Amino acid sequence: MEISAGQLAEMVNGVVDGDPSVTVNTFAKIEEGHPGAISFLANPKYTHFIYSSRSSVILVSSDFVAEQPVSATLIRVADPYATVAHLMSMVDKMMRPVRRGVEQPSFVAEGVTVPDDAYVGAFAYVGPGAVIGRGAQIYPQAYVGDGAVVGENTVIYAGAKIYPGCRVGNRCIIHSGAVIGADGFGFAPEGEGYSKIPQMGIVVIEDDVEIGANTTVDRATMGATRVRKGVKLDNLIQIAHNCEVGEHTVMASQSGVAGSAKIGSHCMIGGQVGIAGHLTVGDNVQIGAQSGIPNSVPSGRRLMGTPAIDFAAFARTQVFLKRLPDLFNDVASLKKAAGQNKK
């Protein structure tokens, strides 16, 4: 499907700077642009690419000032990154195949109703007492356990597992290999070994949550592990039993949250972050990659390092660390000089 720059500008409330009749039919990164593609410039680090990009149309911020001639037609918008995300979402919805019905072979337990506009793929399993919402998409080899709930227009991709009793809200996306509701890591010392503590709770995933491939959210020992609405979890994340992840918090890959930790809303957590159990992270907290969080964190903090400290303090320590070899040599020289003076 081709669309002109002028039509695009109307769709995104933008202003055309250049030829409004030029057409595009695909997306491309600004550094890999080609005729017929639309790109965007949101990060100043990529500004130099705009002068050589071969893309036909480039989304830029309203206040962008070109320092050299630009061959592409520009569309000026308030937020180029959000705008291109919106456009890609629209195209994705138009191009994504709409699947309906129950493919065979698959298993849908007796008494479970699959709405007419929902889909259950081949080799999927839907257990007794499960509830499937309207428009839900359960892809091949997915597992929906006994009494589990899959909300309206939620997508469960191939090989994902929703354990018995767990609840997934509306408009969620659960990617392949994700496991919702496996047992929490609960063991009590007994003699020379450990006795398993039964995990009797569930997992509750609220609306508009996306959970990445091979991410695990463990069921609660008692009660519920909760992932609040709008949360986005990357691939390969571990959320332990009885945790709570607040609304619209985002977390990057390979992070782990230990049992009973409570994370606030609108937090941004980088990759490979470790959060200890039984603590609270406030709202609007930002945690840099590879940080360790051993204690509770008040709202609004920006942290990095292990153990994590304020970002500004961490940046200063990195400057000092680079100077340690010189400092070591200086101290060695002073000690040598002091020794010679004693003689």
Residue 338 resides in a domain: no
- Tell whether 90 and 153 lie within a shared domain: no
**Chosen domain end from 79, 95, 111:** 95
- Tell whether 132 and 64 lie within a shared domain: no
Residue 321, SS3? helix
- Tell whether 105 and 91 lie within a shared domain: no
- Per-residue pLDDT at 341: 64
> Do residues 221 and 202 make contact, with C-beta atoms less than 8 angstroms apart?
no
Number of domains in the chain: 2
- Tell whether 85 and 29 lie within a shared domain: yes
- From start to end of 220-331, where are the E strands? 224-227, 232-233, 238-239, 244-245, 250-251, 256-257, 262-263, 268-269, 274-275, 280-281, 286-287, 292-293, 302-304, 309-310
Residue 252 resides in a domain: yes
Residue 335 resides in a domain: no
- Tell whether 77 and 107 lie within a shared domain: no
Residue 303 resides in a domain: yes
Phi, psi of 225 (to 5 degrees): -85, 130
- Tell whether 249 and 198 lie within a shared domain: yes
Residue 330 resides in a domain: no
- Tell whether 124 and 265 lie within a shared domain: yes
- Tell whether 90 and 109 lie within a shared domain: no
Q: What angle (nearest 5°) sits at the alpha carbon of residue 280, between those of residues 305 and 225?
A: 115
> Do residues 138 and 124 make contact, with C-beta atoms less than 8 angstroms apart?
yes
Residue whose entry in the numeric block shows the structure tokens 């680090």: 45
- Tell whether 127 and 255 lie within a shared domain: yes
Residue 254 resides in a domain: yes
> Do residues 227 and 238 make contact, with C-beta atoms less than 8 angstroms apart?
no
Residue 178 resides in a domain: yes
Here the CATH number for the domain that contains residue 143 is 2.160.10.10
Here the CATH number for the domain that contains residue 82 is 3.40.1390.10
Residue 334 resides in a domain: no
**Chosen domain end from 53, 75, 95:** 95
- Whole-prediction pTM value? 0.87
Residues recognised as catalytic? 241
Full DSSP string of 182-212: PPP--EEEETTEEEEPP---EEEE-TT-EE-
Q: Which domain holds residue 52?
A: 3-95
Which residues of the chain fall short of a pLDDT of 50? none
